[in-house]
Amino acid sequence: MSERKILLLGTGGTIAGKAQDAAQAVGYRAAEIGVAELIGGLLGIKALEGVMVEAVQLAQVDSKDMNWSIWRSLLAQCLSAMDDPQVHAIVITHGTDTLEETGWFLAALLEARKPVVLTCAMRPATALLSDGPQNLLDSLCVAASGGRPGVWFVAAGKVFAAESVQKVHPYRLDAFSSYELGVCGFVEEQTVRWCSAGMPPRMPVPLHDASSGRAVQVPVASASSLFDLEALPWVEVVFSAALADGRQVEALVAAGVRGIVVAGSGNASVHEQLEAALSEARKRGVWVWYASRCLEGVPVAGRCLGPAISESDHQALAIGLVPSKARIAMMLGLVAREAG
């Protein structure tokens, strides 16, 4: 069998973290160990026979500090690997904290004709029972097994679609979920058992246009239009809750925010005082999308977009993404709008 080349891109995170002693699973420093060292211990494993790993240290950050320049290089590396016939698949090591955003970003922009697999760890590499080596091995197995193009996320023996996965626990090893969309597969003893067919489920059509009452696709910028940008447009998430008011929105608008994703309560409902400020923001050209702060489901837009939202206002849309992902979707949507 000819060698399958996997491009391994290291970005940091706890998987590359170091603690003072082996008993520490918190209180460590993320992003300390190079990705070539992380892979070192795995290469003799039988399941990886015939696999050649090229390790590239793309960045070395705690993913809480993920930034546009890293995303841009990650995108560039993935795009060029997609076109390189030598590369069979891509594996990316990443911190757990913002993995759900990077996963959505890559899933939205890559036409993944090969497997792209993100992975991470909840415990540092120096822990007594570190989960990083197993997660990395499982990811390489998913990548090497081929036949499943798409952007995946692998941890704790489970495979998820990167576009829908979320971190749902701050400490336990099994810390990720796609809620209703579920697990796409399992990795057991280096064998991948898929439980969904084909490509990762595409994101549910996430926008509901209040004026037409119809579902529309999130406009997403093309990958090539992003490389010259110094930053993505400024978008923030605001939270609707008991006792909410409009001051946060007013301050954001005064400071030049381009878009706001509202993490609404329940069916994306919004406190009347916050809604009044959002309505003013929309009049000033700020994009406003309504997501839900509920952990499962998506806003049922017909019910959540009430009379507070003008019938003719195309900028007010309910979105079937969790607020963290909706924020990135809106940034890309704003770029697409500017380009078009």
212 — phi, psi (to 5°)?
A: -100, -15
The DSSP secondary structure of 87-125, one letter per residue, reads: EEEEEEE--STTHHHHHHHHHHH---SSEEEEE--SS-T
Contact between 177 and ligand ASP per CB under 6 A? no
Give the nearest distance from C-beta 137 to ligand ASP in angstroms: 18
17-36: contacts with ligand ASP (CB under 6 A): 30
How far is residue 150's CA from residue 112's CA, in Å, rounded to a whole number?
5
> What positions carry a catalytic annotation?
14
For the record, the structure tokens of 138 come out as 């499982």
* Residue nearest ligand ASP, CB atom distance: 95
51-80: contacts with ligand ASP (CB under 6 A): 62-64
Contact between 13 and ligand ASP per CB under 6 A? yes
- Which contiguous run of DSSP H or E holds residue 82? helix 68-83
Contact between 102 and ligand ASP per CB under 6 A? no
Contact between 233 and ligand ASP per CB under 6 A? no
Give the nearest distance from C-beta 62 to ligand ASP in angstroms: 4
Figure out which of the listed residues 10, 81, 92, 97 binds ligand ASP, where binding follows CB under 6 A: 97
Contact between 131 and ligand ASP per CB under 6 A? no
Apex 164 CA angle, 42 and 207, nearest 5: 155
Query: 118 and 154 in contact (C-beta within 8 Å)?
Result: yes
How many positions of this chain bind ligand ASP (CB under 6 A)?
11
Contact between 139 and ligand ASP per CB under 6 A? no
Which residue, 331, 289, 336, is CA-closest to 313? Answer: 289
Residues of the shown chain interacting with ligand ASP in the complex, contacts defined by CB under 6 A: 13-14, 30, 62-64, 95-97, 120, 122
